[in-house]
């Protein structure tokens, strides 16, 4: 049985070139970057080169970047680290459709005395910009927004959000884990103070991510120890992961436009096939022609369980998700689908199909046929 992998929003396969870049630093080039000798010093230079590669690619060469273990740590460092460095303000604004890394970090801040406001979104997942502006006040510490939603693909108007925050003098953290590779990220143009990336979402290694922050932004470290990462994240660096991330970043930067165009075309084809062949199905999130992540297709099927449908598709060799991979074992409806008001008849029957680099045109009809067959069996 062949495998058709349609869960790229959960993780992407590591590219051969990325693996090849990493391998020497898992074997002969093993030096500690903090060691002041001929084995360690070259490794420190490679880490600095990787940092500069990513900053240049983001058009943010004059700013700073901390390497982390991934998106979750980066968002926690942004939210908690910025709050601990600015104890005079106690209000954080976010949305109801954030990744759990943000929502749970904010819940922790709430438990120690902060006020957290989770903004509503409309049925496509967009926030109201006027509502955001009206909420900002002298006690607002931080706004934390997911740029491209990992479940329903909604791409927020980050340019306008940034302008509002800058006008009000409020820091903006953006979770860009899903959006890199789908949208241009030009930090020389956008008013973003902190930005989270994770390598395994763009064909790099798991366990490697980074947090960008503007020059002059104060962040209290969450991990204390040595002086690595400009004293903002202690611990010996994951050298192979950092170099793999930089390699994957560069390759995605070059291929972004063609990658996004391919995924948009394939996503529309698959959506049209499913809607032609299956009754009582709805698209969750924005229309495909709106601000939506290319490759993201979140569908709800009336009267069935999304978990059972995902299981039936898996038996046919098709790997999909029921929503966020971090919440795959939950039988509760996704917090994102509840936030956008998906009808009760549909909210339990959602699956997320997220296409990627290796998705083939010739597999789309097979997937649509498998969905039709599985839905028919479950409804029977």
Residues 199 and 292 in one domain: no
Residues 81 and 180 in one domain: yes
Q: How far is CA 124 from CA 44, 153, 250, 285, 300, in A?
A: 45, 9, 32, 4, 14
Short-list 118, 179, 170, CA closest to 146: 179
What's the chain's Rg over C-alpha atoms? 21
**Domain's final residue, options 215, 231, 251:** 251
What confidence score (pLDDT) does residue 34 get? 87
What confidence score (pLDDT) does residue 329 get? 61
Short-list 312, 322, 346, CA closest to 10: 322
Catalytic residues: 326
Residues 278 and 295 in one domain: yes
Please state the domain count of the chain: 2
**Domain's final residue, options 251, 266, 281:** 251
Sequence-distant (≥ 6) Cβ neighbours of residue 225 within 8 angstroms: 234, 235
Residues 29 and 61 in one domain: yes
Tell me the C-alpha distance between 136 and 139, whole Å.
Answer: 8
**Domain's final residue, options 223, 251, 279:** 251
Short-list 187, 234, 232, CA closest to 214: 187
What confidence score (pLDDT) does residue 289 get? 81
What confidence score (pLDDT) does residue 61 get? 93
Tell me the C-alpha distance between 37 and 359, whole Å.
Answer: 46
Q: How far is CA 259 from CA 187, 299, 368, in A?
A: 21, 22, 22
Sequence-distant (≥ 6) Cβ neighbours of residue 315 within 8 angstroms: none
Place of tokens 């009809």: 365
Length of the chain: 380
**Per-residue pLDDT in tens (0 to 9) along the chain, 380 residues:** 789 999 999 999 999 999 999 999 999 999 999 889 998 999 999 999 999 999 999 999 999 999 999 999 999 999 999 999 999 999 999 999 999 999 999 999 999 999 999 999 999 999 999 999 999 999 999 999 999 999 999 999 999 999 999 999 999 999 999 999 999 999 999 999 999 999 999 999 999 999 999 999 999 999 999 999 998 999 999 999 999 999 999 999 999 999 999 999 999 999 999 999 999 999 999 999 889 999 999 999 999 999 999 999 999 999 999 865 565 565 688 999 999 999 999 999 999 999 999 999 999 999 999 999 999 999 99
Sequence-distant (≥ 6) Cβ neighbours of residue 324 within 8 angstroms: 10, 99, 100, 150, 151, 334, 336
Residues 188 and 225 in one domain: yes
Domain with 153, as residue range(s), is 16-251
Short-list 172, 213, 195, 182, CA closest to 357: 182
Residues 289 and 241 in one domain: no
Tell me the C-alpha distance between 232 and 250, whole Å.
Answer: 25
Residues 84 and 189 in one domain: yes
What confidence score (pLDDT) does residue 327 get? 59
Kindly report the pTM of this predicted structure: 0.95
């Amino acid at each position: 049985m062949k495998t058709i992998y349609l869960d790229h929003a959960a993780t992407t396969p590591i590219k051969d070139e990325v693996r090849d870049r990493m391998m020497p630093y898992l074997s002969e080039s093993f030096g500690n970057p903090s060691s002041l000798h001929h084995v360690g010093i070259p490794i420190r230079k490679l880490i600095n080169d990787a940092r500069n590669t990513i900053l240049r690619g983001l058009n943010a060469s004059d700013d700073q970047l901390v390497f982390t273990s991934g998106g979750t740590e980066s968002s926690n460092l942004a939210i908690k680290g910025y709050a601990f460095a600015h104890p005079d303000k106690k209000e954080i604004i976010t949305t109801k459709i954030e990744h759990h890394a943000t929502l749970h970090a904010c819940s922790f801040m709430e438990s120690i005395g902060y006020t957290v406001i989770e903004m509503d979104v409309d049925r496509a997942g967009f926030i109201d910009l006027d509502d955001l502006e009206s909420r900002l006040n002298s006690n607002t510490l931080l706004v934390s927004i997911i740029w491209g939603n990992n479940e329903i693909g909604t791409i927020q108007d980050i340019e306008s959000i940034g302008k509002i925050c800058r006008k009000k003098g409020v820091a903006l953290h953006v979770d860009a884990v899903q959006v890199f590779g789908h949208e241009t990220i030009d930090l020389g143009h956008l008013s973003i103070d902190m930005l989270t990336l994770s390598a395994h979402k763009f064909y790099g290694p798991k366990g490697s991510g980074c947090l960008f922050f503007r020059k002059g932004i104060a962040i209290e470290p969450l991990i204390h120890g040595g002086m690595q990462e400009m004293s903002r994240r202690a611990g010996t660096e994951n050298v192979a992961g950092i170099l793999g991330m930089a390699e994957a970043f560069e390759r995605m930067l070059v291929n972004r436009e063609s990658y996004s165009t391919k995924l948009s075309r394939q996503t529309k084809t698959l959506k049209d096939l499913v809607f032609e062949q299956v009754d009582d199905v709805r698209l969750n999130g924005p229309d495909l022609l709106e601000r939506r992540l290319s490759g993201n297709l979140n569908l709800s099927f009336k009267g069935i369980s999304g978990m059972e449908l995902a299981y039936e598709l898996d038996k046919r060799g098709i790997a999909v998700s029921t929503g966020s991979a971090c919440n795959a074992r939950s039988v509760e409806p996704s917090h994102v689908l509840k936030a956008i008001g998906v009808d009760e008849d549909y909210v339990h029957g959602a699956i997320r199909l997220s296409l990627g680099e290796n998705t083939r045109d010739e597999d789309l009809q097979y997937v649509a046929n498998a969905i039709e067959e599985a839905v028919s069996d479950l409804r029977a």
